[in-house]
Amino acid sequence: MLLELNQLRGAREHFERRFAPADFDPQDEDYRVAAPVELSMDIEKVGTDAFRVKGRAVTQIEQQCGRCLELFSMPVDASFELRYVPAVDAETEPEREIAEDDLTTAFYREGSLDVIEMLREQFQLALPMKPLCSQACRGLCAQCGANLNSTDCGCRPSWEDPRLAVLKGLLNSDKEN
């Protein structure tokens, strides 16, 4: 969805929008938007061509667990505040001055703000470093690959790193000498 910035009526405008997961197709590789996205945001014009955007987006995001590899969904409630400035051609335009506040700067193109792109970035920022279906996830059995959260495969924890076995052999031969 592209928001035409020159159609803003006042100096400040409020938006409420709901987006379907399909609005995010093709979806990102790292995660999937798994529920409608409720967006609420305020846009305020600052100076001649900059806009300050303050918003909140609520949805559910589906990811793959890093331990058991199952898909799981987690709630996301992302609040953000950004400054939008027109995208400039880096080769012809002089560099912009860094603004005095510490808002993240984003860019709009041809007079319109790409709301879906903005949401994608916010969701990316909300993703955990290590996605886990639960802190207590038991992961997969190193021997048979069974998901230990749902089954007790009965494999004995006797698996040993072959490199370690070599090392043990060396230690044993040391003793014999």
Which residues contact Zn ion (rule: CB under 5 A)? 65, 67-68, 133, 137, 141, 143-144, 146, 153, 155
Measured from the CB atom, the residue of 90 and 129 that comes closer to Zn ion is 129
Residue pair 61/67 in contact by the 8 Å Cβ criterion: no
Which long-range CB contacts under 8 A does 155-164 form with residues at least 24 apart? none
Residue pair 39/115 in contact by the 8 Å Cβ criterion: yes
118 CB-side CA count, 13 A: 31
Tell me whether the omega of the peptide bond preceding residue 94 falls within 30 degrees of 0, making it cis. Answer: no
Measured from the CB atom, the residue of 85 and 141 that comes closer to Zn ion is 141
Question: To which H or E segment does residue 46 belong?
Answer: strand 37-46
For the record, the structure tokens of 114 come out as 């790409």
Q: Least distance from C-beta 159 to Zn ion, angstroms?
A: 9
Measured from the CB atom, the residue of 2 and 137 that comes closer to Zn ion is 137
Measured from the CB atom, the residue of 40 and 60 that comes closer to Zn ion is 60
Q: Least distance from C-beta 60 to Zn ion, angstroms?
A: 17
Q: Least distance from C-beta 153 to Zn ion, angstroms?
A: 3
Measured from the CB atom, the residue of 124 and 143 that comes closer to Zn ion is 143
Q: Least distance from C-beta 53 to Zn ion, angstroms?
A: 35
Nearest to 37 by CA among 54, 22, 51, 20: 20
- State how far Cα 132 lies from the chain centre: 14
Specify which residues 80 forms β-bridges with.
55
Q: Least distance from C-beta 165 to Zn ion, angstroms?
A: 20
